[in-house]
Amino acid sequence: MAIIEIEQLSKSYRVYQKREGLSSAIRGLWRRQYREVDAVRSIDLRVEQGEFVAFLGPNGAGKTTTLKLLSGVIYPTSGTARVMGYVPWERSNEYRRRFALVMGQKNQLWWDLPAQESFRLHQQIYRIELEQFKKTLAELTDLLSVGELLGRPVRELSLGERMKMELIAALLHSPEVLFLDEPTIGLDVVAQHNIQQFLKYYQQQRQITILLTSHYMKDVAALCRRVVVITSGAIKYDGSLVGVIDKFSGSKILRLLLAAGQSSDGLERFAEVESIDLPKVVLRCRRGEIPKMLSSILQQYQIEDVAVEDPPLEQVIANLFEHAASDSSNQVSL
């Protein structure tokens, strides 16, 4: 059953073009020039109940705009969307009680008040029964290990602690759909890992539907099986995480551990040399050539260990972004 249904959804902005110089600025007071920016261009998307989907793209690709459309923050230029059967921009109270939006760069908690005061406000806004509120709050604070921080003003918390509080605030009313816009931005490795583990556990237990945007590929690899890539406002890929690597990476990483005293001379004949730190050698080679190339190397060199890996996910996604941007530029030039 599809929880999120998007058809031909578009959002355009009219942007003022300010020219350089005083005289141009003065002329702009009477005669302004604008250009149309297509933030989202006729996208189609279906997300099933209980899916954890990564929504990826470079800066300005349209990810945040799409989440704002689905949460009813802004109106579309054209197209339709339904989330749990509701049209988001109609902003019905029933819909707003069933979803949550967390934006890593914006706070929903009162800065000078303890988080527990903001939580009580959320209880009143969402009309959560007191016993249910206490039970949910206790569960979330226990899972995130922040019980001792509830009485501290939000401004005194670290970035990672504030993000945990933001997640608690978003989940107090037990939403069925959760939109996460870069929830781990700026966090250190430990804080990122803690947030990842919490989201993975919570989603598996509650089977809620989550749409995640993130520039950290470790978030994606740890949490999502399905990936949707958007560039220049249009969806370029929708499929499995493994499929991204298979489709957009034509190479493999071959790690060799040479035998003691074995020289690495001549290995560049077989593949591109990534690094040499004897006895370790890292090669990059085309996917289809691995068996033949490895057989030739083993015949001519003494190898103690071999490992074949996919290239880093960050590298694959970056290549995908570049190719998608290049295709968009070619279409525009035509």
Residue finishing a domain among 246, 266, 285: 246
Q: Report the domain count for the chain.
A: 2
Q: Is 60 left (phi over 0), alpha (psi -120 to 50) or beta?
A: left
Q: Which two tokens stand for residue 93?
A: 């109270």
135 part of a folded domain:
yes
Query: Which positions ≥6 away from 32 have C-beta within 8 Å?
Result: 16, 17
Residue 140 lies in a domain: yes
Residues 256 and 140 in one domain: no
**What residue numbers bound the domain in which 271 lies?**
250-309
Q: Alpha-carbon torsion 67, 73, 79, 84, what sign?
A: positive
Residue 237 is assigned to a structural domain of this protein: yes
Whether pTM exceeds 0.85 = no
Residues 222 and 272 in one domain: no
What CATH number did the domain enclosing 198 receive? 3.40.50.300
Task: Judge whether 19 lies within some domain.
Answer: no
CATH at residue 278: 3.30.70.1150
Say yes or no: 255 and 192 in one domain. Answer: no
Last residue of a domain, one of 209, 229, 246: 246
Is position 33 within any domain?
no
At which of 205, 221, 246 does a domain end?
Answer: 246
Please check whether residue 326 lies inside any domain of the structure. no
Per-residue pLDDT at 334: 26
Residue 276 in any domain: the answer is yes
Q: Do 261 and 207 belong together in one domain?
A: no
For residues 235 and 264, state if they share a domain.
Answer: no
Q: In this structure, are 264 and 200 located in the same domain?
A: no
Q: Are residues 197 and 230 in the same domain?
A: yes
Q: Which residues of the chain have pLDDT under 70?
A: 25, 28, 323-334
Q: Tell me whether residue 327 is in a domain.
A: no
Residues 107 and 230 grouped into a single domain: yes
User: What's residue 18's pLDDT?
Assistant: 74
- 134 and 239, same structural domain? yes
The three-state DSSP-derived secondary structure of the chain is CEEEEEEEEEEEEEEECCCCCHHHHHHCCCCCCEEEEEEEEEEEEEEECCCEEEEECCCCCCHHHHHHHHCCCCCCCEEEEEECCECHHHCCHHHHCCEEEEECCCCCCCCCCEHHHHHHHHHHHCCCCHHHHHHHHHHHHHHHCCHHHCCCEHHHCCHHHHHHHHHHHHHCCCCCEEEEECCCCCCCHHHHHHHHHHHHHHHHHHCCEEEEECCCHHHHHHHCCEEEEEECCEEEEEEEHHHHHHHHCCEEEEEEEECCCCCCCCHHHCCEEEEEECCEEEEEEEHHHHHHHHHHHHHHCCEEEEEEECCCHHHHHHHHHHHHHHHHHHHHHC
Answer yes or no: are the C-beta atoms of 115 and 154 closer than 8 Å: yes
Residues 203 and 69 in one domain: yes
- Can you tell me the distance from the alpha carbon of 90 to that of 79, in angstroms, rounded to the nearest whole number? 14
Q: What is the pLDDT of residue 325?
A: 62
Per-residue pLDDT of 10-69, as tens digits, reads 999 887 777 777 777 677 677 777 788 888 999 999 999 999 999 988 888 889 999 999
